[in-house]
Chain A
Amino acid sequence: MKRFFLSALAMILLTGVASASEPEYFNVYKPSDGMTADEIMQIEYFVKYTKFARDVELNGTAYFVDKSGSTRERATSRQRITLGRKSDDLAYKDLNLFTSPAQVRGLATLGWTYMNPARQTDTWLWVPSLKKIRKISSANADDTFMGSDFTVDDIVTRKFEDETYILIGSENFKGYDCEYDKKVYFKDAPCFVIEAKPKKSPWYYSKRVLWVDKNTGGGVYEEMYGPDGKMFKTIFKDFRIFKVDGKDYATQVLLECKDLRSGHRTVIANSDIRYDQGLSEELFTEKALSRSRW
C-alpha cells in the first residue's frame, strides 16, 4: 500500500498534474496513463493557451488556400502576457500587429481575456490610416477566426467547461500528411483518443474526436463532426518542445485546418517564438496600441 502511494505521488510530481483541481498557471503538465478524460483535456487546454509561460512573442504567417490552389497570405507579429490574476480577473492580454499585406501594415488589435469563462474578451482595434482606436465586440464562438477556416472557438474561446469528454482509448497515432509542407507528422506517436461533445445544443458541431499527444499534452489532430453526423473539418497542430529555464514548453508551431465541405484550408506557421522575455504589461494598453510601430 505504501509503495502504491509513493508511486502515485511520484507520478503527480513528475507530471505536475493536480488531478483534483485545475492546473495552476506557470507550471508545466503532461498527461499520463491512468488519467481521466477530464484530466487529459484540462492539460490539453492548458497547453493550447500556453498558460505555462509568463509571456510569449512570435511571428505568425497564415495561408488561405482555396480548392483551386489560390493562396492568400497574412502575417502578424504577436505578443501575449499571461497574468492569471484573480484580483482583476485577467487571464492574459494579446497584441496582434498585422505586418502583411503591405497596405494594412500597422493595423493592430489588443485583447484582454478574463478568467471568468462567462466574461467576454475586450478587444480594441487600431486603424492607422484614420489614427483611431475603436472598441470592437468579440466575435461569436462559431464565427470565423480572422477570416480563416478556424472558428473563434477553435483558437481562442473554447474552454474546458464547454464540453463533456469520454476517453475512447490510447493508441499510436497513424500520422498526419501535412499538405502545407508535405511532411508526415506524429506517425506512431502515442496518443490518447478523446471524444468531446459540446454542452451547447444545437451547435455547429456535434462532437470532436481528438488525439492528444502523451509527450506534449497537445491536441495534435482532431476531427469535427456536424449536426448531421458527417465529418466536416480536421485540424492538425504540430507541437514542438521549447526549453525555457529548464522547463519544457509545448508550443504550436504549425496548424493546418481543412474545411471538408468547401475544400478550403488554412495554414498558420509560427516562427521566431520567444518565451518569458519579461514583456511589460504597459505594452498591452490602448495607449500603447495607438503608438503605431509601422
Chain B
Amino acid sequence: MKKFVYWFSGGLIRYRFGFLCLCLIISVFFSFHLKHLSFNTNLGDFYPLKHPYLQIQNRLNSVFGGLNQVSIAIEVKNGTILEPAALEKVWQITNILYLTEGINAGRVVSLSARKIKHVQADESGFSTDWLMHDPPRTGEAIEKLKQRITGNPMVYGPLVSRDFKATLIQADFESAVSSRDIFKAVQGIKKQFEDADHVIYISGQPVLQGWLDYYLPRMAGLFVITLLVMSAVLYNAFKSKRGVLLPLLSASLATLWGLGLMAMFGYKLTPSTVLAPFLVFALGVSHSVQFIKRYYEYMAGEKQNSKEAAVKVTRSLFVPAFTGLLTDGIGPFTLFAVPLGMVRSLAVGIGFGILSIFFATIILVPNLLSFMKPPRRLEVIKEERTTLTNRILGYFAGLAVNRKSRRAVIGIFFVLTFIAVFGTSRLIVGDKEPGTSLLYRDSDYNRAEKFISDQFGSSDSYYIFVEGKAPDAFLSSQALREMESLQRYLEKEVPAVGRSLSLAEYIKGMNMSMFAGDRKEYRIPDSDKTIAEYLFLYSLTGFPGDFDPVVNYNYQYANIKVDVKDHKASTINALVGKTEEWIRLNHKDKNIDFYYAGGSIGMLGAVNRIVETMLPVNSLYTSFLVFLCLVLAYGSLVSGWLLIVPLVFRTFLVFGILGFCRVGLTAEMIPVVALGIGFGDDFGIYIVQRVKDELKDKKLKLQDAIVEAMSTSGKSVFFTGLSLTLGIAVWMFSSILMQVRLGTLLAFFIFFNAIGTLVILPSMIMTVKPRFLKK
C-alpha cells in the first residue's frame, strides 16, 4: 500500500499537466451532458411501487381510473354558494373541464356534472334529472336547488359543505396527460374564476406534482447560498484566497461531474436527486479542507516548495481520504436496497458525486497546489494562529489526557446512550400532519388540502379492491351484502372512519326509488335479477365511463371507498387490521375476493412498513460495511471497533432525541441514517490517521500525539463538519418540506457526529491505547 501511495503521489505531480488536461476534458465533456438535465417530479418515487399495497393501488387505477384526479373547491367569502355568481362559476368551470384536452369526462363530479343526478320518487314512478343542468337565476330556482342538495346525502357534505360556504368540483385526466399540463390547466381556471369574493382551492396528485416542479428550480438559488456559506467557512478556516478558492473549485468540479454522470445515465433532477449536488459539493469541500490544512502545515516549514508539499500531502492523506470516500460511498450503496425511488435516485446522485470527489479532490487539489506559488509567510501565520476553535479543541484533548475526566466523558457518553435507547422506544413511525408531508403545512397546496378535507370530510382515502372470479360477479345480493357489511364494520370499529361508499349504496338508492322513496327500502334487494336490472338501468342513464369509478363495465371489479379523517400510523394499522379481521371472520362468498390497502392510506401504510423494516436493517448493514472498510484500511479489528462503536452510540443518541421529541419517522430517515453513518466516520478517520502519523513520524507519546492531532486534524475535522453541516443545512430554506426535514436531520446528525468525535474519540484512544496506531 505504502509503495502504491508513493508511486501514485509521485506520478501525480510528475505528470501534472496531463492530469490537469484530463480534468479539463472531463469537465467539458460533462458540461455538454448537463443540457440534458431537467427538473421533473415523479410522485411514484416516494412510494415503494412493488409493495403489495401499491400493487393494489395500481390495479385500482387501471380498472377505475383516478390516477390524475384533481379537486377544485370554491369558497364564497360573503354569502353562500347558493348565489347566482357562485353557481355560474361552478357551471362554467365544469363545462371548461369537460372541454379540456385529456379529461376523463365520466369522472367529472360537480353540482352541474352530467352524472350527478337528482332522483324524485313517488307512487307512480320516479324522475331523474341533472342536479343542476343550468345555473339557476331566480330565488325560486335556487331554493329548489337547495332542497335537491340537502335531500341528497351523496351531495350534501361530499360536494357541498354543510354551511353552504363551499362546493367541490372533481375531475380526472387520462393517464397520458402530463401533470405539468394538468397543473397549467387548473391554475388557469383558478386565475380566471378567483376574485375577492370567491377563493379557489386546488388539490390532487398532479397538482402536488405541479407544485413540486414549480419549487424545484428554486433550488438553484439555494445553491448560490451554499456557495456563499462555504466561502465564509473556508475563509474563517484559512484566511486566504487559495484556502477558499481551491476547495470551492474542486468541489464545483466534483458536483459538475456528478451531475454530468446523472444526466448521461438519463436521471432527472427530482426533489430527492436535486439534493445530491449539494451533498457532493459539501462533501467535496470537506475533504479538500483536509488537503489544504495539511498543505499549510508543510508550507510552514522552511525551504518547502509547492510541488514537494503536494507530493507529501498526497502521501499523508491518500489512505484516510480514500477510506473516508469509500465509507462515504457505503451510505448510498446500502440505500440501493431500499425500495423507494426517491432514496435510490438520491443514492445514485450521491454515488456519482463521490466517485467524482475521488478524482476532483485526491487528484485535482494536489495537482493545483503544485502549480501555486508558496504562500507568503503571513498567510501561513494567519492560518496557524490560535483561535477559539483551537482552544476548545485543546480542552477536548485535555479531557482525554486526564484519566478522571476521560473516564467521566466515556461514562456520560454511555449513560446518555442508555437513556437514548429508552427514547428510541418512544419513536413513532409515519407522518401525522394533515396533507402531504412533502410540503409545508401553510403551503398553497396543503392549505387547499386542509380546506377540502375540513369542508367535505375527505382527508384521506382508503380503498378496498373487490374482485369477482368471473364477469357479472356483482349482480349478486350476497356479494353486495358482504361489501356493505365490511363498510359498516370499519365505520363501527375504526373511530377515524368518516363515511364509506360502494356499489351497495347505489343499489340501495335505486331500490328506494323503485319503492316510491320509502326509507325502509334503502336496502339491497334479495333477488340477483333485480340487482342486474338496477345496474342495467344505471348504465342506461350514464354516458360510457360514467359508472366506471364504482364498478367496471362487465361487473367483475368493484371497490369500497372509505373516507378517513387522518393518516396516523395507528389509524392505518387499525384500518388494515380490522379489514383483515372482517375478511377472516365474515367473508363467505366464494365468487369475490377482497384486496387491501389502496388509496392514500395504503400508500402511506406501505411507506411506514418500509421505514419500520428498512431503517434498522439499513442502519446495521451500513454500520457493518463501514466497520469492514475500517478494519481493512488499518488492518486491525480494534480500529473498526474504536470508530464504529461511538458512531453507533451516537446514532442511538440521535434516535433517542427524536423519540423524546415525538418526531415521526418518515422515509427520509433512511437516507439520513445511512449517509450520517457513512459520512460520520470521516472525522474519526482523519484524527486516527493523524495520531498514527504523529506516533510514527515524530515518535511522540500517545497523549502528545493526541494533543497534536486535535490541534491540527481536529481543527480540520471541525471545519469539515461545519462545512458539511452548513452545506446541508441550507436545505432548510427549501420550499419543499421533505428536503427541509432531510436537511435538518442530516445536518444535525453530521454536526453531532463531528462534535461527538472530537469529544469522545481522544478519550477512547487514551483508554484503549490501540496497538495498530504504532504499526
Interface positions of A (Cβ within 8 A of B): 64, 66, 70, 72, 98, 101, 103-104, 107, 124-125, 127-130, 132-137, 139-140, 142-144, 146-149, 202, 226-228, 230, 259, 261-262, 264, 266
Q: List 25 A-B contacts (CB under 8 A).
A: A64-B544, A66-B553, A103-B472, A103-B528, A103-B532, A103-B536, A107-B537, A125-B537, A127-B530, A132-B514, A136-B125, A137-B128, A139-B128, A140-B129, A140-B130, A142-B114, A147-B543, A147-B544, A148-B543, A202-B95, A226-B99, A259-B544, A261-B103, A264-B545, A266-B544
Is B533's CB under 8 angstroms from A66's CB? no
Identity of the chain A residue whose Cβ is nearest the Cβ of B516 in the assembled complex: A134
Is B128's CB under 8 angstroms from A136's CB? yes
Given contacts A125-B537, A130-B514, 13 further A-B contacts (CB under 8 A): A66-B545, A72-B554, A103-B536, A130-B533, A132-B514, A134-B124, A136-B125, A137-B129, A143-B541, A147-B540, A147-B541, A148-B543, A266-B544
* B 88-137 contacts with A by CB, 8 A: 95, 99, 103-106, 114, 124-130, 133
The residue that B536 contacts in the complex, of A98, A259, A264, with Cβ under 8 A, is A98
Q: Bound state CA distance, A142 and B546, in angstroms?
A: 14
- Which residues from A are CB-within-8-Å of B527? 129
Is A124's CB under 8 angstroms from B543's CB? no
Q: Bound state CA distance, A66 and B114, in angstroms?
A: 19
Whole-angstrom distance between the Cβ of A118 and the nearest chain B Cβ? 17
Q: Bound state CA distance, A137 and B106, in angstroms?
A: 22
Q: Is B542 an interface residue (CB 8 A)?
A: yes
Identity of the chain B residue whose Cβ is nearest the Cβ of A230 in the assembled complex: B99
The residue that B514 contacts in the complex, of A64, A134, A148, with Cβ under 8 A, is A134
- Which residues from B are CB-within-8-Å of A107? 533, 536-537
Q: Bound state CA distance, A184 and B28, in angstroms?
A: 59
- Which residues from A are CB-within-8-Å of B248? none
Is A139's CB under 8 angstroms from B127's CB? no
The residue that A127 contacts in the complex, of B127, B533, B544, with Cβ under 8 A, is B533
Identity of the chain A residue whose Cβ is nearest the Cβ of B475 in the assembled complex: A103
- Which residues from A are CB-within-8-Å of B529? 103, 128-129
The residue that A143 contacts in the complex, of B105, B114, B545, B554, with Cβ under 8 A, is B114
Whole-angstrom distance between the Cβ of A144 and the nearest chain B Cβ? 4
Q: Is B539 an interface residue (CB 8 A)?
A: yes
**Chain B interface mostly:** mixed
Counting chain A CB atoms within 10 Å of each CB, the highest count among B114, B540, B541 belongs to B540
- Which residues from A are CB-within-8-Å of B539? 147
The residue that A104 contacts in the complex, of B95, B533, B542, B546, with Cβ under 8 A, is B533
Q: Bound state CA distance, A140 and B128, in angstroms?
A: 9
Q: Bound state CA distance, A266 and B545, in angstroms?
A: 13
- Which residues from A are CB-within-8-Å of B542? 144, 147
Is A129's CB under 8 angstroms from B128's CB? no
A135 with B544, Cβ < 8 A, contacts A127-B514, A261-B103 known: no
Identity of the chain B residue whose Cβ is nearest the Cβ of A123 in the assembled complex: B125
Q: Bound state CA distance, A202 and B472, in angstroms?
A: 40
Interface size class of B (residues with CB under 8 A): 35 or more
- Which residues from B are CB-within-8-Å of A134? 124-126, 514
* B 483-540 contacts with A by CB, 8 A: 514, 527-530, 532-533, 536-537, 539-540
Is B124's CB under 8 angstroms from A135's CB? yes
Whole-angstrom distance between the Cβ of B299 and the nearest chain A Cβ? 73
Whole-angstrom distance between the Cβ of B557 and the nearest chain A Cβ? 12
Q: Bound state CA distance, A58 and B530, in angstroms?
A: 27
Is B533's CB under 8 angstroms from A129's CB? yes
- Which residues from A are CB-within-8-Å of B129? 137, 140
Whole-angstrom distance between the Cβ of A272 and the nearest chain B Cβ? 23
Q: Bound state CA distance, A261 and B125, in angstroms?
A: 35
Closest 3 CB pairs of A and B: A137-B127, A135-B125, A103-B532
Interface positions of B (Cβ within 8 A of A): 95, 99, 103-106, 114, 124-130, 133, 472, 475, 514, 527-530, 532-533, 536-537, 539-546, 553-554
Is A136's CB under 8 angstroms from B127's CB? yes
- Which residues from B are CB-within-8-Å of A66? 544-545, 553
Q: Bound state CA distance, A43 and B129, in angstroms?
A: 32
Q: Bound state CA distance, A202 and B135, in angstroms?
A: 12
- Which residues from B are CB-within-8-Å of A70? 553
- Which residues from A are CB-within-8-Å of B546? 144
Is B543's CB under 8 angstroms from A149's CB? yes
A227 with B99, Cβ < 8 A, contacts A130-B530, A135-B124 known: yes
- Which residues from B are CB-within-8-Å of A262? 104-106, 544-545
- Which residues from B are CB-within-8-Å of A101? 532, 536
Is A149's CB under 8 angstroms from B125's CB? no
- Which residues from A are CB-within-8-Å of B554? 72
Whole-angstrom distance between the Cβ of B761 and the nearest chain A Cβ? 64
Q: Bound state CA distance, A113 and B478, in angstroms?
A: 40
Is A140's CB under 8 angstroms from B544's CB? no
Whole-angstrom distance between the Cβ of B390 and the nearest chain A Cβ? 73
Whole-angstrom distance between the Cβ of A106 and the nearest chain B Cβ? 9
Q: Bound state CA distance, A230 and B100, in angstroms?
A: 11
Whole-angstrom distance between the Cβ of A142 and the nearest chain B Cβ? 8
Q: Bound state CA distance, A70 and B63, in angstroms?
A: 12
Whole-angstrom distance between the Cβ of B659 and the nearest chain A Cβ? 50
Is B544's CB under 8 angstroms from A148's CB? yes
Identity of the chain B residue whose Cβ is nearest the Cβ of A259 in the assembled complex: B544
Whole-angstrom distance between the Cβ of A115 and the nearest chain B Cβ? 23
- Which residues from A are CB-within-8-Å of B530? 127, 129-130
- Which residues from B are CB-within-8-Å of A98? 536
- Which residues from A are CB-within-8-Å of B545? 66, 262, 264
Q: Bound state CA distance, A198 and B129, in angstroms?
A: 22
- Which residues from B are CB-within-8-Å of A133? 125
Q: Bound state CA distance, A104 and B452, in angstroms?
A: 40
- Which residues from A are CB-within-8-Å of B475? 103
Is B125's CB under 8 angstroms from A124's CB? yes
- Which residues from B are CB-within-8-Å of A125? 125, 537
Q: Bound state CA distance, A135 and B527, in angstroms?
A: 22
- Which residues from A are CB-within-8-Å of B543? 144, 147-149
Q: Bound state CA distance, A124 and B124, in angstroms?
A: 10
Whole-angstrom distance between the Cβ of B471 and the nearest chain A Cβ? 10
- Which residues from B are CB-within-8-Å of A259? 544
Q: Bound state CA distance, A139 and B546, in angstroms?
A: 16
Q: Bound state CA distance, A264 and B127, in angstroms?
A: 28
Is A139's CB under 8 angstroms from B541's CB? yes
- Which residues from B are CB-within-8-Å of A226? 99
Is A72's CB under 8 angstroms from B553's CB? yes
- Which residues from A are CB-within-8-Å of B532? 101, 103-104
Identity of the chain B residue whose Cβ is nearest the Cβ of A263 in the assembled complex: B174
- Which residues from B are CB-within-8-Å of A72? 553-554
- Which residues from B are CB-within-8-Å of A140? 129-130, 133
Is B124's CB under 8 angstroms from A128's CB? no
- Which residues from A are CB-within-8-Å of B105? 261-262
Identity of the chain A residue whose Cβ is nearest the Cβ of B527 in the assembled complex: A129
Q: Bound state CA distance, A261 and B103, in angstroms?
A: 8
Q: Bound state CA distance, A148 and B546, in angstroms?
A: 11
- Which residues from A are CB-within-8-Å of B114? 142-143
Whole-angstrom distance between the Cβ of A72 and the nearest chain B Cβ? 6
Is B103's CB under 8 angstroms from A149's CB? no
- Which residues from A are CB-within-8-Å of B472? 103
- Which residues from B are CB-within-8-Å of A132? 514
Counting chain B CB atoms within 10 Å of each CB, the highest count among A107, A147, A202, A266 belongs to A147
- Which residues from B are CB-within-8-Å of A143? 114, 130, 541
Is A144's CB under 8 angstroms from B541's CB? yes
Q: Bound state CA distance, A165 and B537, in angstroms?
A: 36
Whole-angstrom distance between the Cβ of B182 and the nearest chain A Cβ? 16
- Which residues from A are CB-within-8-Å of B528? 103
Q: Bound state CA distance, A264 and B105, in angstroms?
A: 11
Is A128's CB under 8 angstroms from B125's CB? no
Q: Bound state CA distance, A139 and B541, in angstroms?
A: 8
Q: Bound state CA distance, A148 and B540, in angstroms?
A: 8
Q: Bound state CA distance, A129 and B529, in angstroms?
A: 6
Whole-angstrom distance between the Cβ of A62 and the nearest chain B Cβ? 11
Identity of the chain A residue whose Cβ is nearest the Cβ of B526 in the assembled complex: A129
Counting chain B CB atoms within 10 Å of each CB, the highest count among A132, A259, A262 belongs to A262
